[in-house]
A = this chain, B = another copy of it.
Amino acid sequence: MAITKTDTKEKIVSFATQLIETKGYNGFSYQDIADELGIKKASIHYHFPSKEDLGIAVFEAFMKGVHEHIAQIDFESLTAAEKLAGYFQYHAEVTLVKNHDASDCSHISCIGALTSEWNNLPEKMREQIDNFNNWHVGFVASIISDGVAKKEFCHVGSVEGQALLIIAATKGALLLSREKTSIEIYNQITRQLIEGLKCK
């Protein structure tokens, strides 16, 4: 029966996600999680033998959340600008609001935090992150292409270049928001991105 199964494993992943968002992969320890959950370090090693295993699980849960979110969107009913706005909002929500206080800006997104630590990550995690970022560029590019096809967006340069710009700016915007402890910075930057794409 599922009743007997404990939810410790999910709790570990959940709290580790928060720790990665706030302190980074190399900035948290098994002890941090043990203290929070009221268990011993060795119990975490039982569920995740090495820290790399935990890091991979955290990122997989993150990707699952992103893909599930996208799967439920009714793309047909939205303008390209609305899609982008939704993307930006989700990015903020998953980072700043979901499970957390809306006014708490101490988190940055999982993918942003891990990309920042690129040179200090285990090889397997780098592969995951690289794959996700590749998919990510394609996803944003498809929204832009759509907007251009509908004559809603009049972009300059290549679609891929615009997608890269949006992804780079989003990562940077979360960093600045955290520093300034104000989501307004993030909102301001993302609004600019959408306005910059619209036909005048």
Give the size category of A's interface with B.
35 or more
A104 to chain B, nearest CB (A): 12
Q: Which of A129, A156, A162 has the most CB of B within 10 A?
A: A156
- Alpha-carbon gap, A185 to B163, bound state (A): 11
User: Chain A, 120-146, contact with B by CB distance < 8 Å: what is the 0/1 string?
Assistant: 100000100110010000000000000
CB contacts (< 8 Å) of A126 on chain B: these are 179
- Annotate A143-166 by CB proximity to B: 1 below 8 A, 0 otherwise: 000000000000011100110110
Choose the segment among A44-52, A68-76, A92-100, A110-118 that binds chain B (4+ C-beta atoms closer than 8 Å). Answer: A110-118
Among B23, B130, B165, B189, contact of A193 (Cβ-Cβ < 8 Å): B165
B189 and A164 within 8 A (CB) = yes
Q: Is A173 an interface residue (CB 8 A)?
A: yes
Are B119 and A178 neighbours in the complex by a CB distance under 8 Å? yes
- Nearest to A116 among chain B residues (CB) is B116
A18 to chain B, nearest CB (A): 11
- Which chain B residues lie closer than 8 Å to A189 at the CB level? 161, 164-165, 168
A27 located at the interface, meaning its Cβ lies under 8 Å from any Cβ of chain B in the complex: yes
Residue of B26, B27, B170, B172 near A167 (CB, 8 A) is: B172
Interface residues of A (CB under 8 A from B): 22-24, 26-27, 106, 112-113, 115-120, 126, 129-130, 133, 156-158, 161-162, 164-165, 167-173, 175-176, 178-179, 185, 188-189, 191-193, 195-196, 200
Can you offer 16 A-B residue contacts whose CB atoms are under 8 A? A22-B119, A23-B119, A24-B120, A115-B175, A115-B176, A115-B179, A119-B178, A164-B188, A164-B192, A167-B172, A168-B168, A168-B169, A169-B172, A171-B172, A171-B175, A200-B200
